[in-house]
Amino acid sequence: MNLMKSIGMAALGIATAAILSGASAMADPLPYPNKVVTLVTHSSPGGGSDVFLREMTKHLGKYIGATFIVENAQGGSGAKAMARVATAPADGSVFYATTPTYIYTSLMSKPQNTYKDLDPLVNIFADSEVIYTRTDGPFKSLKDVIEHAKKERGRWGAANPASLERQAAEQLKRAAGVTPAIVTHEGGGDMMLNVLNGTLDIGIGEIQELRSQLDAGTITLLATFNPERIVEKPDVPTVKESGFDVSLVKFRGLAGPKGIPETTTAIWDEAIKKLLEDPDYKKAYTAEVLVPQFIPHKDYPAFIDNFGSTTEAFLKSTGAIK
C-alpha cells in the first residue's frame, strides 16, 4: 500500500470514527433526576390527550433519560387529574397533559385544585378541532347538519362539559341560531360509537382520535374550527367558510406541580425542541395533523394565564359563569 493510500485510509477511518462518535453523542438522552416519569391525562384510553401522550412516549426516551408511563385519571372533567398532579412531588416525576379543558374545568367547576395550582412546563402542539359524521349517514356538509337542527333540533356530541369541544359546539349553536342537544362524553371512544350508530348527528374532536375510523372510511370530516383549512386535509372547509363565524384552536403541552427546579425545566425545553425535529416522530404527528407550537417554560405560564383570562371573559359574557 503506497503512502498516499495509507494516509487516505487513515483519514477515512478518523472521519468515520468522528461521525460515529457524533451520532452516538446525539443519540444519548439527557440525564434526568428520575428513572420513571408519569404523564397524567384526564382522557379515557383512545381520547385525544391519551393518544398524544402514548405516541410521544414512543420517541421521548431518545431525548430524556427516563422511562415514561401514561396514567388515565378520569373524572370531574379533568378535576381528578389536576388534583393528582398538583399534589405530587415537584421533582419532575409527574406531569399533566395540558389542553383548554383544564382551563374550562377550573373556571366552570371550581375544583379544589385549578390550573393556577400547576406550573406550565412547555407547549408542544396546536391541534385542530373537527366536526365529523358517519359516512353512510344523511349529512354531507355542515349546512346539512344545521338545516336538520332547525327542523328537528338534533343531537351533537362533544367531550366533557368543560372542554374546548363543548365550547365549540355551544359557539356553533349560537352562530347558527339552532338548539341541538349537546351530549357530552368523558372520552372520544364513546362519542365515536354514538356517531357511528346514528345516536348523534355529529361529533367534535381531534383527528388523532379519529384516525382508525377515517382510514376505514366509516366517518367523514365536515368542517374544521381552524381559522384556515388544514394543510393535510385541503378538501375540508372551515366552519367560517361554511357560513358560521367560529374559529378555535386547541393547544397541547405539559404542566407539573408548583416548584419544579429550573434545571429540570431546562431539560424539557431542550428535549422537546429535539423531539419535534425527530424524523420518525415528525412523520407520526404530521399524520395526526398536529402542528408544532413550541413554547418554552419561560413563556408558557404567560400563555396559559392569557388563555385563562380570555376564556373567563368569554364565559362571563355568555352567562356560563358569574
pLDDT at position 86 is 97
Please name the helix (run of DSSP H) or strand (run of DSSP E) that holds residue 263, with its range, or none: helix 262-277
pTM: 0.74
CB contact set of 33 (below 8 Å; sequence gap of 6+):
91, 92, 263, 264
pLDDT category at 26 given cuts 50, 70, 90 is low
Residue 5 has pLDDT above 70, yes or no: no
Q: Name the residue among 250, 226, 246, 43 with its Cα closest to residue 126.
A: 250
Residue 124 binned pLDDT confidence (cut-offs 50, 70, 90):
very high
pLDDT in tens, 256-274: 999 999 999 999 999 999 9
What are 169-174's contacts with CB under 8 Å, separation 24+? 169/204, 170/318, 171/246, 171/248, 172/239, 172/244, 172/246, 174/318
| CA separation for the pair 39, 94 (Å, rounded) | 6
3-class state of residue 162 by DSSP: coil
Residues 6 or more apart from 117 whose CB is under 8 A from it? 82, 86, 258
Q: 127 pairs with which residues across the strands?
A: 250, 290
The answer to whether 105 and 262 have CB atoms below 8 angstroms apart is no
Parallel, antiparallel, or unpaired for β 181-184 and 155-158?
Answer: parallel
Q: Residue 311 has what pLDDT?
A: 87
The three three-digit cell numbers of residue 128, written as one number: 385542530
Tell me whether the CATH fold assigned to 36-126+252-318 matches the one assigned to 129-224: yes
**Domain range 129-224, its CATH number among 3.40.190.10, 3.20.20.70, 3.30.360.10, 3.30.300.30:** 3.40.190.10
pLDDT for 175-204, tens place per residue?
999 999 999 886 677 889 999 999 999 999
Q: Is the pLDDT of residue 18 over 50?
A: no
Instruction: Return d(Cα 101, Cα 307) in angstroms, integer.
Output: 11
In which order are the strands placed within the sheet that holds 250-257? 67-72, 36-41, 94-98, 250-257, 118-127, 290-295
Domain positions in the chain: 36-126+252-318, 129-224
pLDDT above 90 (res 52): yes
Please state, in angstroms and rounded to a whole number, the distance separating the CA atoms of residues 295 and 227: 20
The pLDDT tens digits for 220-256 are 999 999 888 988 889 999 999 999 999 888 899 999 9
CATH class of the region 36-126+252-318:
alpha beta
Cell numbers describing residue 57: 412516549
Other Cβ atoms less than 10 A from the Cβ of 252: the count is 23
Q: Which pLDDT value is given to residue 197?
A: 96
For residue 27, the model assigns a pLDDT of 63
pLDDT at 11 exceeding the cut of 70: no
Residue 123 has what pLDDT? 97
